[in-house]
Amino acid sequence: MSKTEEHLIEAFAGESQANRKYLAFAEKADAEGYAQAARLFRAAAEAETVHAMNHLKALKAIKSTKENLREAIAGETHEFKEMYPVMIEAARASGDKAAERSFRYANEVEIVHAKLYHAAMEALEASKEEFLYYVCPVCGLTAEKEPPEVCPVCKAKGSMFKKVE
C-alpha cells in the first residue's frame, strides 16, 4: 500500500468520525437551546461527509453493489464475531457497564445487519420489492418494512424508531 493510500484511509476515518461527533454535538447544542451552534455543527458534519466521500472515491473503494454488499457482510461479520466480543469482555472485566451495554447493543445489531445485507444480495436480481427500513435510536437495531412493537435488543418502544427511506 502506498503512503498516499495510507493517508487517504486515515483521512477517511478522521472525517467520518468528525461527522458523527459533530452530529452528536449538534444534538447537545439543540438540547441546551443553542440553535445556531447546532446548525453550525450540522453544517460542519455535512462538510466532513463531503471530505470523507471524496477520500473514499480517491481510494477507488466504491465498487459494484454486489462487491459493496460482500464487503459490508465481511465487515459486519468481523465486528460481531471478533471485534465486539473482545470489547464486551474487556468492558465487563473493568466494570464499565455503559461501555459494555454500548458494545453489546452494537454486537447484536451487527448480526442483524449482516443478515440484511445477505438478504439484499440474494434479492438483487430476484426481487424488485421496495420497502422502508426503521432504526432504533437507542441501540441501532435496523428493521425492515415496519418497526417492532418493542425493540428486541434494548426494549425501546417501536414508535421511537426512525424511518429511513
Residue 20: which domain range?
3-58
Q: pLDDT of 77-99, one tens digit each?
A: 999 999 999 999 999 999 999 99
Whether 126 has a pLDDT exceeding 90, the answer reads no
- Residue 69 and residue 121 in one domain: yes
pTM of the model: 0.86
Note whether 9 and 49 are same-domain residues.
yes
Task: For residues 101 and 137, state if they share a domain.
Answer: no
Instruction: Supply the pLDDT for residue 129.
Output: 80
Neighbouring residues of 23: CB distance < 8 A, sequence distance ≥ 6: 41, 42, 45
The number of distinct structural domains making up the chain is 3
User: Is 165 found in the same domain as 134?
Assistant: yes
Q: Each residue of 127-153: pLDDT tens digit?
A: 778 899 999 999 999 999 999 999 999
Give the CATH number, domain containing residue 50: 1.20.1260.10
Note whether 136 and 106 are within 8 A (CB).
no
